[in-house]
Structure 1
Amino acid sequence: MTNPPLHRWLLISLVAIAAMLVGRDISRAQTSESSDLSIELVDPKVLRVCADPRNLPFSNAKGDGFENKLAELFAEKLQKKLDYMYFPQATGFVRMTLGAHRCDVIMGFPQGDDLVQGTNPYYRTAYALIARQGSGLEQVATLQDERLKGKHIGIVAGTPPATNMAANGLMMNAKPYPLMIDTRFDSSAEAMVNDLMSGEIDAGILWGPMAGFYAKRASPPLQVTPLVKETTGPQLVYRIGMGVRPADQNWKRSLNRLIQQNQPAINKILLDFGVPLLDENDQPIGAETTTKSP
């Protein structure tokens, strides 16, 4: 026979637990719909950035890269302290940084990559051909150009333009550089530019931000031509945004607002580093058109 006082106590306890759970769910829902970022960020008072300690022009431990400068801009706008979780940007980067809740944003990530949730893009650029002034290749704008036949061209193995080079018969004399490297000890982009300056290769193909950065630092400066006229093969033009965790919806919205409100300042930082910026019509964005969005 059931004990009435005990039965009544169990019923009251179950009702209380149910009420607590409902209350907690309502509280979570209200929090997630507000601008409170405390449940999404490692530390709401700190902009914690996932970055590579040696990967110019993007970032380094000294804060010299353009992603460092963008992080400084955003930290100032958010009125937060800036801190970094540094890890070499190779296999496991996302898992060991953003995925492990050791930081809250990757400052540069290609749109459409499902490893992270992307913000709105803040720049658009392309793989580019770099060549020495006076080489006869300065005006080459497509890998189909006959002037490239028989030339020694540097290419990072496994990148999209390698497919286009193969389709145009340019791989026989190509010099490959490794894609997966430990950036603490090596730089394929820097090695390629050094080979170009010494004459070991006639031209090189690099991701736009790297091409622009190293070409600008070379003496004399190198010619950079974004490869926007390719008609076959994989796409060579990409939009770049920031990466956050899939669940961090409020944080994503905050970053989207910052991007929209600060596009001219963002463009200026990128242009100062030589990034070849493109608008939606593949036309270059220069200093006179810094208000343009990707």
Structure 2
Amino acid sequence: MTNAALRRPMLLPLLAIAAMLTGLDISRAQTATDGPDLSIELVDPKVLRVCADPRNLPFSNEKGEGFENKLAELFAEKLQKRLDYMYFPQATGFVKMTLGAHRCDVIMGFPQGDDLVQGTNPYYRTAYALVTKSGNGLDDVATLEDERLKSKHIGIVAGTPPATNMAVAGLMMNARPYPLMIDTRFDSSAAAMIKDLMSGEIDAGILWGPMAGYYAMQVSPPLHIMPLVKETTGPKLAYRIGMGVRPADQNWKRLLNRLIQENQPAINKILLEFGVPLLDENDMPITAENAAKRP
């Protein structure tokens, strides 16, 4: 009997064990990729269906140009799913007509603590910001309580938290309000405010951080933005932003939380490219140099 024949009975159990281990590795890889069974929770487990506004840059639009579009593309790639959208103007009824109607499975940006949806862990933190022209004497104004703002005409989106701070600081007399509830397919309060700032109709404007950063980059020379994190009266103006899912979708939320944790540097990179003024928990700016930080 040859040595090969002697070894064959010993090799068969080893090969069987190796096959079993290989099967386990494949199973683990599939589990890591596919995650838990989401067939009950999702509209289509094979598709990442995103609820989004069709015309609301810098967040999203139908051309896929917003940072929430780019984040959706990143997550679809990681999940190995096809990406699809349910577009609806982000005004009254948005959640009801999209996520609530089971026409999509995730809203890519939603403030933490809003009870309309179940929020994931936050993936960024930012604040309302003061937008001014560089060199007009307001570059270093860091709070609405600054006396230099008393005589200035300041744009504010009506009904937003900084309007309260402005009232407390005595700035509403010269304020120019812009509507909060609009159909984004036809109007943009942020774009209108920036246009008025550039023409000199107003001296400064207050916008939600992502909009402030994005629109500040759209003009030449770029506008100056100052996150309003030093307010001592009125509501705090910094917020954590996560993603929104349905209250019952626990497995889906856990999977999104894992994706956020594993891809935070890539998420930060996308946000910074769009000019979002990112803040850590100590209100310090997150830059390209320290973009691996958690919100």
TM over 0.5: yes
Where 2:173 maps in the other structure, the secondary structure is coil
Is 1:103 aligned to residue 104 of structure 2? yes
RMSD: 0.6
Determine the C-alpha separation between the residues in 2 that align with 1:63 and 1:293: 26
Task: Name the aligned partner's letter for residue 250 of structure 1.
Answer: N
Give the deviation of 1:287 after TM superposition: 0.2
Which residue of 2 is the match for residue 89 of structure 1? 90
Determine the C-alpha separation between the residues in 2 that align with 1:209 and 1:218: 15
Determine the C-alpha separation between the residues in 2 that align with 1:134 and 1:188: 24
Give the deviation of 1:216 after TM superposition: 1.1
Which residue of 2 is the match for residue 144 of structure 1? 145
Q: What runs of 5+ residues in structure 1 fail to find an aligned partner? A: 1-33
Where 1:251 maps in the other structure, the secondary structure is helix
Give the deviation of 1:70 after TM superposition: 0.1
Superposed CA deviations along residues 44-63 of structure 1, whole A, max 9, x for unmatched, are: 00000000000000000000
Where 1:130 maps in the other structure, the secondary structure is strand
Where 1:172 maps in the other structure, the secondary structure is helix
Determine the C-alpha separation between the residues in 2 that align with 1:218 and 1:158: 26
Is 1:181 aligned to residue 182 of structure 2? yes
Determine the C-alpha separation between the residues in 2 that align with 1:286 and 1:176: 32
Where 2:172 maps in the other structure, the secondary structure is coil
Which residue of 2 is the match for residue 163 of structure 1? 164
Determine the C-alpha separation between the residues in 2 that align with 1:85 and 1:97: 7
Which residue of 2 is the match for residue 55 of structure 1? 56
Determine the C-alpha separation between the residues in 2 that align with 1:219 and 1:101: 43
Determine the C-alpha separation between the residues in 2 that align with 1:116 and 1:173: 37
Determine the C-alpha separation between the residues in 2 that align with 1:147 and 1:264: 38
Where 2:174 maps in the other structure, the secondary structure is coil
Task: Name the aligned partner's letter for residue 59 of structure 1.
Answer: S
Determine the C-alpha separation between the residues in 2 that align with 1:143 and 1:132: 16
Task: Name the aligned partner's letter for residue 210 of structure 2.
Answer: P
Which residue of 1 is the match for residue 293 of structure 2? 292
Where 2:235 maps in the other structure, the secondary structure is coil
Is 1:264 aligned to residue 268 of structure 2? no
Task: Provide TM-score, normalisation by structure 1.
Answer: 0.88
1:1-294 to structure 2, matched below 5 A, reads 35-294=36-295
Superposed CA deviations along residues 200-225 of structure 1, whole A, max 9, x for unmatched, are: 00000000000000001111100010
Superposed CA deviations along residues 3-38 of structure 1, whole A, max 9, x for unmatched, are: xxxxxxxxxxxxxxxxxxxxxxxxxxxxxxx81000
Superposed CA deviations along residues 256-281 of structure 1, whole A, max 9, x for unmatched, are: 00000000000000000000000010
Which residue of 2 is the match for residue 10 of structure 1? none
Give the deviation of 1:245 after TM superposition: 0.2
Determine the C-alpha separation between the residues in 1 that align with 2:173 and 2:232: 22
Determine the C-alpha separation between the residues in 1 that align with 2:223 and 2:190: 13
Give the deviation of 1:234 after TM superposition: 1.0
Give the deviation of 1:286 after TM superposition: 0.2
Where 1:239 maps in the other structure, the secondary structure is strand
Superposed CA deviations along residues 153-180 of structure 1, whole A, max 9, x for unmatched, are: 0000000000010111101111000000
Determine the C-alpha separation between the residues in 1 that align with 2:200 and 2:135: 12
Task: Name the aligned partner's letter for residue 76 of structure 2.
Answer: A
Where 1:154 maps in the other structure, the secondary structure is strand
Task: Name the aligned partner's letter for residue 236 of structure 2.
Answer: Q
Which residue of 2 is the match for residue 7 of structure 1? none
Determine the C-alpha separation between the residues in 1 that align with 2:262 and 2:109: 18
Which residue of 1 is the match for residue 5 of structure 2? none
Where 1:180 maps in the other structure, the secondary structure is coil
Q: What runs of 5+ residues in structure 2 fail to find an aligned partner? A: 1-34
Determine the C-alpha separation between the residues in 1 that align with 2:248 and 2:236: 29
Which runs of structure 1 show a deviation greater than 2 angstroms over 4 or more consecutive aligned residues?
none
Q: How many residues were matched structurally?
A: 261
